[in-house]
Structure 1
Amino acid sequence: MTVSVLDTASAMTAILDAAEDQRADLVREMWAPMAGMFRFVPGGADLAQVHRQNFGFAWDARAQDVREAVDALVQADAWNRLETGLQRGAAALQESVPGVAVPDVTVLLVVGDPDSSHFVDEVQGLSGFGGISGYITVTVWPTPTVLDRLEAIVVHELHHNVRYAPGGIVWNPATVTVGEQVVSEGLADVFAAELYGDAGYTHFVSEQTRTDDAVLAKVVTGLGVTGMQNFSAWVHGDASARLFGAEPVGLPTGAGYAAGVRLARAYLEATGSTAAQNVRTPAVDILRVATERLGLNDQRRPEPHDG
């Protein structure tokens, strides 16, 4: 596996130093190596808009705060730490699943928008995406918690990257289930915890949400819901659903992550295996075992592939 962690520290500094009317194009230039993520978008995507949609910093406001955030990431050696984490994660996956293909990966780390209350408060300075093989984006606000978790954050995304690489789980936006996304988040968090302990668990999920049986039971009722447009409600929670124009279903932030960890752990305990070993195990197999072990089968909607 070849890891290319883009030098976005220099790119972000150049954006902030530029005349305001030049900044949007420099943002597009910074994101250009990630354009392959959007190869399925007719006509391509406006990468400046992509930056905004990923909670990236506004290039026309709060410049000094963003500079200080970039400096904090530099002082924390963030870019090297991401590469080290990815190399460790890849080695763990290859040791656990001999012959598994770990793709070459390009990584973009950017500072998020301090004026977005959802980004700063609700998801506590973190937005990551690794679901398209070969690419990982990480948007952060460098709080002490985020800085402490950098390696864990990126190996979580690596688990997704390998799960959905060619030869792995096929992702169809129209037919993919909430169950697949929940299982994927749970496995990725447990994998990060296998490498980094408690820092592996996504930090914007509260302890109450993690342990609330009612949250788990509610998420289980939605496992068979299809279409990724439903994920914000069932996986990320009501606040994210409202932000993205979806109908809330009555769940706290990170509910799908919390349920995913509990379901993944139930399966791993039943099978005596690890999250690394199950990077490509179909969600339907994991859910069949996990819901039975947790006594939740009577609350679960059938998965489309259950037959």
Structure 2
Amino acid sequence: MGKKQVQLIDSLSFYEKAINGQADENSFRYEIMQPMEKMWQYLNAPLLPKTPGGYDVVMASEMMGMWTPRKSVDLIADQISELKATKIFEEYQAVIDTGIARFENIGYEIPLKEFVLNILLADPENKIVMASEGYSGFGGIPGYMILIVFPNDYNRTRLKSALAHEFNHNIRFTYAPFNHGDVSVEEYLVIEGLAEVFAESLFGIEQRGPWVQDYDEEELAYSIEVIKDGRKGRGFEEVAAYMYGDEVAREQGYAPVGLSRNAGYTIGYHIVKEYLKNSGATIEEATLSPSEIIISGSHVFD
């Protein structure tokens, strides 16, 4: 099997230029985002807006919670050294190599030659990212991964786990491609549950992300019932309310459904854990299994 390449985009040099007044919107577009242009094409975000002030990679990046040069550099100036200190720039290769090996060991030939990774500073004024302990990621397009981080005491040790989570998305979507406009609540539960259980299998439960909540039995049972009723809903607007909970749903303009923050991530995690326990499958095997098999085999909605 041919060795997979990992291209790390040099975001640190870009940030150093930014604090010295030598980076602008176009630097962001072409130095930081152009290496991921194919990803952005899938997401219908052009490098340059088609009309002045129109939708482009800069606007899309801001919506995802990244800092861009359209905002004051003072927001991130102190965070560049903090980002370096997390060690993720030295450790990313081992995380991805380990993930690749785990899937190759079960005989899966990953249909990608290269992974492109971007590790970026978050915008501290983005409420959604900051509410997730200052970090998030994106791995929805196979071959491309983004970590978005505003370093703090909580997340600085969890970036390897977050990268493993996004790596699992990359692999899952080589098996079952992601359709943003037609994904079901049920499918999204499985997608996120697989990713977090995979990360946990590599780095332990203590490195689990904040998107999996420690519900008591009553809230767990209540959340399962609400999601059970809505699990066949399709399309990201429908999915978002169930996955993120009412607070984020309102923030993003979606209709709340009566759930706590990150309820869908939490129930998805429990679905995958129950499926693995009941089936004896490994997390790698589950990642390459149909969502309906995982849902039915978990018995969470029985």
Matches within 5 A, 1:52-67: 52-67=62-77
Report the counterpart of residue 181 of structure 2 in structure 1: 174
Residue 202 of structure 1 pairs with residue 214 of structure 2: no
Looking at structure 1, the residues matched to 160 and 267 of structure 2 have their Cα atoms a distance apart, in angstroms, of 23
| Equivalent residue pairs, number | 288
Letter of the 2:287 partner, please give it.
V
Residue 224 of structure 1 pairs with residue 232 of structure 2: yes
Looking at structure 1, the residues matched to 45 and 11 of structure 2 have their Cα atoms a distance apart, in angstroms, of 25
Q: Select which of 4, 7, 15 maps to 1:4.
A: 7
Report the counterpart of residue 35 of structure 1 in structure 2: 37
Residue 25 of structure 1 pairs with residue 26 of structure 2: yes
Letter of the 1:128 partner, please give it.
G
Matches within 5 A, 1:71-86: 71-86=81-96
Report the counterpart of residue 143 of structure 2 in structure 1: 134
Letter of the 2:21 partner, please give it.
A
Deviation at 1:149, TM superposition (A): 0.7
Letter of the 2:88 partner, please give it.
A
Looking at structure 2, the residues matched to 240 and 157 of structure 1 have their Cα atoms a distance apart, in angstroms, of 21
Deviation at 1:240, TM superposition (A): 2.1
Report the counterpart of residue 157 of structure 2 in structure 1: 148
Letter of the 1:67 partner, please give it.
A
Letter of the 2:205 partner, please give it.
D
Letter of the 2:245 partner, please give it.
G
Distance 1:77 1:249, change over 3 A: same
Residue 271 of structure 1 pairs with residue 279 of structure 2: yes
Is the 2:58–2:68 contact (alpha carbons within 8 Å) kept by the matching residues of 1?
Answer: no
Deviates more, 1:66-75 or 1:194-203: 194-203
SS of equivalent to 2:148: strand
Deviation at 1:10, TM superposition (A): 0.8
Is the 1:209–1:215 contact (alpha carbons within 8 Å) kept by the matching residues of 2?
Answer: no
Deviation at 1:37, TM superposition (A): 0.9
Looking at structure 1, the residues matched to 43 and 284 of structure 2 have their Cα atoms a distance apart, in angstroms, of 31
Q: Select which of 116, 124, 127 maps to 1:114.
A: 124
TM-score (norm 1): 0.87
Residue 125 of structure 1 pairs with residue 134 of structure 2: yes
Report the counterpart of residue 304 of structure 1 in structure 2: none
SS of equivalent to 1:278: helix
Looking at structure 2, the residues matched to 184 and 223 of structure 1 have their Cα atoms a distance apart, in angstroms, of 13
Deviation at 1:171, TM superposition (A): 2.5
Report the counterpart of residue 305 of structure 1 in structure 2: none
Looking at structure 1, the residues matched to 157 and 44 of structure 2 have their Cα atoms a distance apart, in angstroms, of 39
Report the counterpart of residue 236 of structure 1 in structure 2: 244
Looking at structure 1, the residues matched to 44 and 212 of structure 2 have their Cα atoms a distance apart, in angstroms, of 35
Report the counterpart of residue 105 of structure 1 in structure 2: 115
Residue 164 of structure 1 pairs with residue 165 of structure 2: no
Looking at structure 1, the residues matched to 75 and 216 of structure 2 have their Cα atoms a distance apart, in angstroms, of 32
Instruction: Spell out, residue by residue over 1:224-279, the C-alpha distance to the aligned partner (whole angstroms, 9 max, x if none).
Output: 11112322211112222122221111112211110011111111111111212211
Is the 1:174–1:228 contact (alpha carbons within 8 Å) kept by the matching residues of 2?
Answer: yes
Deviates more, 1:38-47 or 1:110-119: 38-47
TM-score (norm 2): 0.88
Letter of the 1:113 partner, please give it.
D
Deviation at 1:153, TM superposition (A): 0.3
Deviation at 1:85, TM superposition (A): 1.2
Looking at structure 2, the residues matched to 151 and 272 of structure 1 have their Cα atoms a distance apart, in angstroms, of 26
Looking at structure 1, the residues matched to 95 and 216 of structure 2 have their Cα atoms a distance apart, in angstroms, of 27
Is the 2:65–2:128 contact (alpha carbons within 8 Å) kept by the matching residues of 1?
Answer: no
Report the counterpart of residue 300 of structure 1 in structure 2: none
Report the counterpart of residue 53 of structure 2 in structure 1: none
Looking at structure 1, the residues matched to 42 and 122 of structure 2 have their Cα atoms a distance apart, in angstroms, of 25
Looking at structure 1, the residues matched to 70 and 59 of structure 2 have their Cα atoms a distance apart, in angstroms, of 14
